[in-house]
Amino acid sequence: MEITLTDNIEKTYKSICRICHGGCGVIVSVQNGKVVKVKGDPASPMNKGWMCIKGVMTPEIANHPDRLRTPLLRKGKRGGMQWESISWERALEEIARKLDALKKEHGAESIALGQGTGRHHYMHVVRFANALGTPNWYEPGLAQCFIPRITVSNIMYGGFVVGDYYGDVPPKCILFWGHNPLVSGPDGELAISVKRALDKGAIGIAVDPRRSETAKRCKQWLPVRPGTDAALALAMIHVIIKENIYDKEFVEKWTHGFSELREHVKAFTPEWAETITWVAACDIVNAARTYALNKPAILEWGLGIEQNTNSLQTVRSIAILRALTGNIDNPGGDIIGKNIIRSYPTLKEKLPEGMLKKRLGADTFKLLGGWRAFMPSAHIPALFKAMRTCDPYQIRALLIFGNNPLTTVANPGEVYESLQRLELLVVTDLFMTPTAALADYVLPAAFWPEVEQVIGYPLVVENMVMAQQKITQHAECRQDEWIINELSKRLHLPGSEESLEDVMNYQLEPLGIDYQKLKTSGFFYPPHQYKRYEEKGFRTPSKKVELYSKSLQRLGYDPLPTYKEPPESPVQSPELVEQFPYVLITGCRKKEFFQSEHRQIPSLRKRRPHPQAEMHREVAAEKGINHGDWVIVSSPRGSIRMKAQVTEDIHPRVISVEHGWWFPEKAGPEFGVWESNANVLTNNKPPYDPAFGSYQLRGLLCAIEKEKT
């Protein structure tokens, strides 16, 4: 598109907001080449005109004076904050030359790629890794976010599922398990869709140590001990089978391994679960009955079930509930994704065979990095360790496209040390961050109104496809895919002859449209065909939902889900309990921020100026803490400073701290990243989940004290 900077007449364009994983259809007003207003598009079948507060603040983010404007080259020592503005040509030439030399001398595996969660360029980074020939890319979610849910769904149901909020039949019941979509949507659903379903009368059940914004709208709240969800789910399965309230027709016809499951859960009574989970046995029974007897029902699962070291079996046990109650691919239940577009051409066939063995952590965590993994990536603790210790070989370069690991990876002290050892660190971002401040080159990224992409929504299932279109140009900022393509061309990598538009058109081909056509229509949304399994069965080896999983058994994992006590917990670590008597959860989302972003956006920051720790009134009283006091939260690994939020809406033995905090207003290179960073408290040490290598970000032990003045 021609962008005329002098055009002072306000013009409007349609696009898709992508500050989060969502895809709200929006109308963008542009004046003098700048975004001046963004509002929800009433024609979008997803958001129907609605937008969240972050999306509304798009102009403030897009035009922020601190946006990076040109490529920067480090002058002086690492982290010295002395930069020289350089041209794109020079930046790309120099980076490509260095990558080429490293590849030739030390092998492509010595170069790692990093990225953030679910961005427009996500799969393009994976494509770049494969084309470059390195198996070592990471994203701080994955093992800690989404990969367990996706993998378990694929293994059990043959596809990923999302709640059916958009059809004609509304859900009668929604079981929110470790998920707070009224704030954190969208991951698979929009906050507004969940709100509308609850407004229409869906009965809510929330399994959550906090009475979250979503739990407050629910009929039942089960304040579970963090990290013990598998025990709760096994007990609910026990009740549903024992009381004969499972969907017999579906179970008989469409599930594999029911009799083994029935035997397996006999011992897992609600009373057994009560002592483990802190949830009363009668509440477990009631929740099981409500979910099983009110159909159709949606099971909304979230991060609360993945950020622990038993993530595979926790997710498995919860996933069984859908099948037992026949809530799969039914109107108003959980529907299997259609994936209407071709999957992204990630060039995985270009990754040299020997490289699979070199992927850090892949031999141990087979469902994260092995051949059976959904999107094979490196294990983060192993990758950063290889930067620090050269074990099993040295990672020498890291190229990051939109990720701030000093805030979002466990044990940021080690991340810091690892980054210091690199020969080359390149960070592409919208703003200068504590991570970017350590780089050799900082590259300015384009924000969503400056980007062209095809967006499949909801994430992973792609039931609908939409077009983001470039509406403005900010300074010298470039879309990440463009940067990757320019580097690829200079390195003569496979696929470098294809433009981004070629890739988008390849994906859209089965729909009979191309990117230009999609841009005109805005979105493509075919109606959902329910119960497709009745034609060809489920896409699993038994053609049924695999309650008992032989695939997992062959990989060396339990074929039926089991409960394991978290490695650091009041039960497992009695020696720590006196000093650290509370259970810590980190990272519960807030409406105003996406991960570590937006602390520099005045309209968002003023709504939430300080990092907060939530605690029960009883804890505050015992410790002499008042609402709004500064407190010190400590774990066996460190201490941080937060503002006390005293509430009745949390289990009295649980403390919840926000994640992602740094202070853009403070001096670089650190920008206060050590002061209130939840990951100073978390643990990146073994044991990990045996399949995914997930580390514990929730369910750890902690202490809290009023800050001494």
Binding site for ligand SF4 (CB under 6 A): 17, 19-20, 22, 24, 51-52, 54-55, 186
Q: Decide: is 223 part of the binding site for ligand MGD (CB under 6 A).
A: no
Among ligand MGD, Mo ion, ligand SF4, none, partner that 165 touches (CB below 5 to 8 angstroms by kind) = none
The footprint of ligand MGD on residues 673-702 (CB under 6 A) is: 678-679, 682, 697-699
Among ligand SF4, Mo ion, ligand MGD, none, partner that 387 touches (CB below 5 to 8 angstroms by kind) = none
Q: Decide: is 480 part of the binding site for ligand MGD (CB under 6 A).
A: yes
DSSP H helices in 6-146: 53-56, 58-62, 88-106, 122-132
Residues 6+ apart with CB under 8 A from 258: 251, 252, 547
Which residue, 278 or 533, is less far from ligand MGD as judged by CB? 278
d(CA 35, CA 164): 34
Residue whose CB is nearest to ligand MGD in the complex, by number: 587
Q: Which two tokens stand for residue 611?
A: 């990092």
Do 280 and 274 form a contact (C-beta atoms < 8 A)? yes
Where in 475-601 does DSSP place strands (E)? 523-524, 545-546, 582-586
Contacts 24+ apart (CB under 8 A), 371-379: 372/551, 372/555, 373/147, 373/151, 374/147, 374/150, 374/151, 374/154, 375/126, 375/142, 375/147, 376/135, 377/137, 377/138, 377/139, 377/142, 378/112, 378/135, 378/136, 378/137, 378/138, 379/143, 379/688, 379/693
Q: Decide: is 208 part of the binding site for ligand MGD (CB under 6 A).
A: yes
The footprint of ligand MGD on residues 145-174 (CB under 6 A) is: 145
Minimum distance from residue 652 beta carbon to ligand MGD (Å) = 14
Q: Decide: is 379 part of the binding site for ligand MGD (CB under 6 A).
A: no
Q: Which two tokens stand for residue 58?
A: 């798009």
Out of 44, 377, 407, 507, which residue is the one contacting ligand MGD (CB under 6 A)? 407
Instruction: Give residue 350's Cα distance to chain centre.
Output: 27
Out of 110, 144, 453, 645, which residue is the one contacting ligand MGD (CB under 6 A)? 144
Size of site (CB under 6 A) for ligand MGD: 62
Q: Decide: is 227 part of the binding site for ligand MGD (CB under 6 A).
A: yes
Among left, alpha and beta (phi > 0; psi -120 to 50; other), residue 329 is: left
Minimum distance from residue 54 beta carbon to ligand SF4 (Å) = 4
Q: Decide: is 145 part of the binding site for Mo ion (CB under 5 A).
A: yes
Q: Which two tokens stand for residue 490?
A: 């200079």
d(CA 433, CA 26): 28
Size of site (CB under 5 A) for Mo ion: 3
Q: Decide: is 459 part of the binding site for Mo ion (CB under 5 A).
A: no
Q: Which two tokens stand for residue 628?
A: 């709004």
Q: Decide: is 159 part of the binding site for Mo ion (CB under 5 A).
A: no
- As beta bridge partners, residue 669 has none
Which residue, 145 or 288, is less far from Mo ion as judged by CB? 145
d(CA 160, CA 61): 33
Residue whose CB is nearest to ligand SF4 in the complex, by number: 55
Q: Decide: is 207 part of the binding site for ligand MGD (CB under 6 A).
A: yes
Which residue, 144 or 469, is less far from Mo ion as judged by CB? 144
Q: Decide: is 302 part of the binding site for Mo ion (CB under 5 A).
A: no
Among ligand SF4, Mo ion, ligand MGD, none, partner that 22 touches (CB below 5 to 8 angstroms by kind) = ligand SF4
Which residue, 237 or 251, is less far from ligand MGD as judged by CB? 237
Q: Which two tokens stand for residue 300?
A: 């909304």
Q: Decide: is 110 part of the binding site for ligand MGD (CB under 6 A).
A: no
Q: Decide: is 401 part of the binding site for ligand MGD (CB under 6 A).
A: yes
Minimum distance from residue 408 beta carbon to Mo ion (Å) = 9
Do 523 and 465 form a contact (C-beta atoms < 8 A)? yes
Q: Decide: is 179 part of the binding site for ligand MGD (CB under 6 A).
A: yes
Which residue, 325 or 595, is less far from ligand SF4 as judged by CB? 595
Out of 138, 593, 662, 674, which residue is the one contacting ligand MGD (CB under 6 A)? 593
Q: Decide: is 178 part of the binding site for ligand MGD (CB under 6 A).
A: yes
Which residue, 193 or 418, is less far from ligand SF4 as judged by CB? 193
Q: Which two tokens stand for residue 467?
A: 């077009």
Which residue, 46 or 424, is less far from ligand SF4 as judged by CB? 46
Minimum distance from residue 20 beta carbon to ligand SF4 (Å) = 3
Q: Decide: is 587 part of the binding site for ligand MGD (CB under 6 A).
A: yes
Minimum distance from residue 249 beta carbon to ligand MGD (Å) = 30
Which residue, 54 or 103, is less far from ligand SF4 as judged by CB? 54
Among Mo ion, ligand SF4, ligand MGD, none, partner that 17 touches (CB below 5 to 8 angstroms by kind) = ligand SF4
Q: Decide: is 130 part of the binding site for ligand MGD (CB under 6 A).
A: no
Q: Which two tokens stand for residue 283?
A: 């509440």
d(CA 338, CA 166): 14
- Angle, helices 122-132 vs 480-490, to 10°: value is 10
Query: Which H or E element spans position 231?
Result: helix 229-242
The footprint of ligand MGD on residues 642-671 (CB under 6 A) is: 656, 659-660
Which residue in 639, 500, 635, 487 sits closest to 573, CA to CA? 635
Which residue, 180 or 472, is less far from ligand MGD as judged by CB? 180
CA angle 372, 160, 169 (to 5 degrees): 170
- As beta bridge partners, residue 443 has 428
DSSP H helices in 354-447: 354-358, 366-369, 380-389, 405-408, 412-420
93-126 burial, b if ≥16 CB within 10 A, otherwise e? ebbbebbeebbeebbbbbbbbbbbbbbbbbbbbb
φ/ψ of residue 282, rounded to 5: -65, -30
Out of 188, 402, 456, 690, which residue is the one contacting ligand MGD (CB under 6 A)? 402
Do 159 and 319 form a contact (C-beta atoms < 8 A)? no
Minimum distance from residue 600 beta carbon to ligand SF4 (Å) = 17
Minimum distance from residue 159 beta carbon to ligand SF4 (Å) = 24
Among left, alpha and beta (phi > 0; psi -120 to 50; other), residue 32 is: left
Positions in the binding site for Mo ion (CB under 5 A): 117, 141, 145
Positions in the binding site for ligand MGD (CB under 6 A): 20-21, 116-117, 119, 140-141, 144-145, 177-181, 183-184, 187, 207-210, 212, 224, 226-227, 229, 302-304, 401-404, 407-408, 428-431, 433, 445, 480, 585-589, 591, 593-597, 656, 659-660, 678-679, 682, 697-699
